[in-house]
Amino acid sequence: MYDTIPFFKIPYTLDDLSVVIPHIKAHQKRFEWFIPQYIKATPSEVIKNTIVTYDGDDFSKNILDKFRIKGVVVTESDWSTYKQMEGFKNVNTRLCARMHNDACIIRSDWAQCLVSQFNSTSEPQMIGALNPTGFLAKEWVDKMLEMFPSFKPVYDQLKFDYNPNGHAYMPCNYFSAFFLASQSYVLKTIYHQAISINDFRMDKEDCMLTVFACLYNIQLTSWQDMYSFVCAARDKIGDFEEGDKIPPEPIIVDDTNRENMPKAVFHPVRSIVDF
């Protein structure tokens, strides 16, 4: 079902980076805002490797055709998990980012900063903004152990807390769902496993993906100032509505202002047993 994991060496270039964007037809206003700002703030090398997974509706198709972006029709479910999984299958480059269609690109050098960080080590990485407030119910962690016995050495070291109702849970850091990146073979292989724990539903898929990255010894890298490069356009789900405050146009970073821009800050974080 999935490609054999290859052995890749650095350096990477912008040509090595793909972006998978899951989209449902109900989010028309979001989509007609997102695509033009994405095109404006994304290098052409990455645009040509961009994949939007969508419902096959004419509205979305017309926008994709206008901006010459590859679209892959996915109709199994509205859940972004299915659309992301199918998008990863269609990636043919060595690096891959996932980006939701309400992500706001603040600076046009986001992709180059990402590639530069991948070039900092030959070890596989998962890069994004880590949130320290995640948790997984113990029954989910137990199910993971049942499905993947190799998890036991890690499981035996976990410490569980209890909520006021006496239910056990595991505190964990997790990557923000709207944007993260890794080597493509990582997302092609472990994403399917991570979302299978919860029957492919969207709930907790970001926590589970982070846990699986730890299980497979993928270096978790916190992009500590990621929200100065890519952030969420707003703090609610659904399509844009009248009165929503949409972020301004992206800052175009080039030779005239690059030296004056703050540098991206990345930092490796501890493994799951240290959360």
The pLDDT of residue 7 is above 60: no
Question: In this structure, which amino acid lies at residue 7?
Answer: F
Question: In this structure, which amino acid lies at residue 256?
Answer: T
79: how many CB neighbours lie within 10 A of its CB?
Answer: 18
Task: Average the pLDDT over 179-197 and give the result.
Answer: 90
Architecture of domain 14-234+262-274: Alpha-Beta Complex (3.90)
- The mean predicted confidence, pLDDT, of the chain is 86
The pLDDT of residue 90 is above 90: yes
Show the CA angle centred on residue 44, arms to residues 40 and 46, nearest 5°: 100
Task: Average the pLDDT over 28-33 and give the result.
Answer: 89
The pLDDT of residue 275 is above 60: no
Q: How confident is the model at residue 258 (pLDDT cuts 50, 70, 90)?
A: very high
Distance of CA 115 to the CA centre of its chain: 15
CB 106 within 8 A of CB 252: no
Q: What is the pLDDT of residue 210?
A: 85
Q: What is the pLDDT of residue 235?
A: 65
CB 30 within 8 A of CB 101: yes
CB 107 within 8 A of CB 261: yes
Choose the most confident range, by mean pLDDT, from 61-75, 136-150, 193-207, 219-233: 61-75
Query: Can you tell me the distance from the alpha carbon of 155 to that of 141, in angstroms, rounded to the nearest whole number?
Result: 8
The pLDDT of residue 18 is above 90: yes
- Per the model's pLDDT, the better-predicted residue between 42 and 137 turns out to be 42
Query: Can you tell me the distance from the alpha carbon of 212 to that of 215, in angstroms, rounded to the nearest whole number?
Result: 5
Q: What is the pLDDT of residue 88?
A: 95
The pLDDT of residue 9 is above 80: no
Question: How far lies 30's CA from each of 25, 52, 100, 218, in Å?
Answer: 10, 14, 10, 33
Task: Average the pLDDT over 114-122 and give the result.
Answer: 95
Task: Average the pLDDT over 46-64 and give the result.
Answer: 97
Query: Can you tell me the distance from the alpha carbon of 267 to that of 264, in angstroms, rounded to the nearest whole number?
Result: 10
Q: What is the DSSP letter of 203?
A: T
CB 250 within 8 A of CB 106: yes
The pLDDT of residue 121 is above 60: yes
**Which pTM was predicted?**
0.88
- Per the model's pLDDT, the better-predicted residue between 235 and 225 turns out to be 225
- Per the model's pLDDT, the better-predicted residue between 208 and 239 turns out to be 208
Pick the closest to residue 141 from 270, 5, 275 (CA basis): 275
Query: Can you tell me the distance from the alpha carbon of 118 to that of 113, in angstroms, rounded to the nearest whole number?
Result: 9
Q: What is the pLDDT of residue 243?
A: 63
First-to-final CA distance of the chain: 33
The pLDDT of residue 146 is above 50: yes
Identify any residues that bridge with 231 across adjacent strands, giving them in sequence order.
104
